[in-house]
């Protein structure tokens, strides 16, 4: 039936993605697991993204294409595709990246077997230009502790490139979070918050290919590009980013409604980490310049 809810929802935010979006969509449509919907939210692209997506949508009823009247920024566009989703499980899919054919099947199977797991993610290969030009990246973010504190702190201490956000997530757990907020590294903070609600499991196969270049990766963009990415048409600098990261953790802990002892224990650890990062927090009052790298040859340092 047309109104039958799919088991899995795929949310693909897009903006001026004509170069790579065909490969990204094809990698979704060519999955061995087929019970999904694909929601594409076009953030007022000025290239041929719209015509490409409309052609795909006309051929496959699983695809829902939406075009925003104006560029609402990457944060709201990412949140919109989740808010429109109907599946038991949810996955963000970048319009620049590639998913191996068994990605969805393996991750759905793991979630079906493990109700205590809220996020399943495969291993990642970073690539530039061609899939064959890749670097195998270690995330080390599986966490099986029964303690929300241990899971959250493990994620805070180990997350670097946020590849795991491209895994499969339980929609009911994700709906309890703040989702993405308009500051740099909010997506990584979201994963740390999600760890409060359940365990993270890594599939041992390399099924996710993440494109790394200046057009697709914020880790390689300068400050002006980041401001445009998060706050379109705004000239205001993105200030107090380190403070926002730390404050997010406090608010997320409060929102999770843990026991008073568990919450207090987390707060103590968060204050300790603020002390460790006191120099960064002090510099936030003076200026904010994010660490950037301009070379995909330096993947090991990301």
Question: 138-178, pLDDT tens digit by residue?
Answer: 999 999 999 999 999 999 999 999 999 999 999 999 999 99
Share of the chain above pLDDT 70, in %: 86
- Residue 59, token pair as written in the block: 């051929």
Q: Is residue 292 scored above 50 in pLDDT?
A: no
Please give the pLDDT value at position 300.
54
In whole angstroms, what is the distance from residue 291 CA to residue 276 CA? Answer: 18
* Average pLDDT score over residue span 52-70: 97
pTM: 0.90
Are 65 and 17 a contacting pair, CB within 8 Å?
A: no
CATH numbers and ranges of domains, the chain? 8-219 (3.90.550.10)
Share of the chain above pLDDT 90, in %: 79
Q: Is 287 exposed, middle or buried (0-12, 13-18, 19+ CB in 10 A)?
A: exposed
The gap between the terminal CA atoms of the chain, to the nearest Å, is: 45
Question: 75-124, pLDDT tens digit by residue?
Answer: 999 999 999 999 999 999 999 999 999 999 999 999 999 999 999 999 99
Q: Which range (2-11, 209-218, 224-233) has the least confidence? A: 224-233
Q: Is residue 294 scored above 50 in pLDDT?
A: no
Mean pLDDT of the chain: 90
* Average pLDDT score over residue span 16-28: 97
Question: pLDDT band at residue 227, thresholds of 50, 70 and 90?
Answer: low
């Amino acid at each position: 039936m047309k109104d039958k809810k799919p088991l899995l929802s795929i949310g693909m935010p897009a903006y001026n993605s004509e170069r790579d979006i065909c490969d990204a969509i094809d990698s979704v449509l060519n999955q061995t697991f087929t019970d999904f919907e694909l929601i594409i939210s076009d953030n007022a692209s000025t290239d041929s993204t719209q015509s490409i997506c409309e052609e795909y949508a006309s051929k496959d009823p699983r695809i829902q294409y939406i075009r925003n009247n104006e560029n609402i920024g990457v944060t709201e566009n990412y949140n919109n595709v989740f808010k429109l989703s109907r599946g038991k499980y949810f996955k963000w899919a970048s319009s620049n990246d590639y998913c191996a054919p068994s990605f969805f099947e393996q991750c759905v199977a793991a979630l079906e077997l493990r109700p205590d797991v809220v996020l399943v993610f495969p291993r990642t290969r970073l690539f530039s230009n061609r899939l064959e030009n890749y670097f195998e990246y270690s995330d080390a973010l599986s966490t099986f502790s029964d303690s929300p504190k241990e899971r959250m702190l493990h994620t805070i201490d180990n997350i670097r490139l946020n590849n795991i956000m491209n895994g499969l997530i339980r929609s009911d757990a994700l709906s309890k979070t703040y989702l993405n907020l308009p500051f740099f590294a909010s997506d990584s903070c979201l994963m740390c918050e999600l760890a409060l609600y359940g365990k993270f499991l890594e599939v041992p196969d390399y099924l996710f290919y993440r494109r790394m270049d200046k057009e697709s990766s914020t880790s390689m963009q300068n400050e002006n590009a980041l401001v445009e990415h998060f706050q379109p048409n705004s000239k205001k600098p993105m200030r107090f980013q380190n403070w926002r990261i730390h404050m997010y953790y406090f608010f997320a802990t409060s929102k999770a409604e843990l026991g008073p002892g568990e919450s207090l224990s987390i707060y103590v650890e968060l204050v300790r980490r603020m002390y460790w990062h006191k120099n960064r927090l002090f510099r936030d009052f003076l200026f904010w310049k994010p660490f950037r790298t301009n070379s995909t040859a330096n993947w090991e340092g990301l």
